[in-house]
Amino acid sequence: MAEKILKNAYVSVGGTDLSNRVRSVTLNDLTELQDKTTMGCNTRARKAGLNDWNVSVEFLQDYAAGSVHATIKAAKGTSVALVIRPENAAAGAENPEQSGNIVIENYNPVAGAVGDLQTCTISGQADGDLSESVGA
């Protein structure tokens, strides 16, 4: 598989495609590690625990109805569907779709310095499993 440049990611929040406003997206797929180290060990030992995931997305802010602010403000603090693909195209082996529900815990509706494009960032935590689909 060749190296890829992320330049046209698909991001949908609560069923609203916000891809044309995304500046960056980071999806973290985690496993909590439990310490199972016992007396006499010289090195920590760990066992995989629960899976977890979280997301951070930076957008160019847009206050129009049905765009960034309206979508995120309505979803903040609730469980909302999130879909991410590396390319804004159908899911496939080279474009796997990551999806699940998140609770948006942080949203900064205004950010930037004088003369900057106005941005906003969200961060969200898992509210259930993260699924991956490569299409039909």
- For the chain, domain boundaries: 10-31+45-133
Output the pLDDT for position 136.
64
Q: How far apart are CA 7 and CA 76, in angstroms?
A: 27
Tokens of 101: 């529900």
Q: How far apart are CA 99 and CA 92, in angstroms?
A: 14
Intra-chain end-to-end CA distance of the chain, in Å: 20
Domain 10-31+45-133: which CATH class? mainly beta
Output the pLDDT for position 1.
59
Output the pLDDT for position 68.
97
Q: Which whole-number Å values give the CA distances from 11 to 2, 59, 119, 123, in the listed order?
A: 23, 10, 16, 13
Predicted TM-score (pTM) of the model is 0.91
Output the pLDDT for position 2.
80
Q: How far apart are CA 53 and CA 36, in angstroms?
A: 23
**Mean per-residue pLDDT pooled into runs of 10, the chain (136 residues):** 89 98 97 97 97 97 95 96 97 96 96 93 97 86
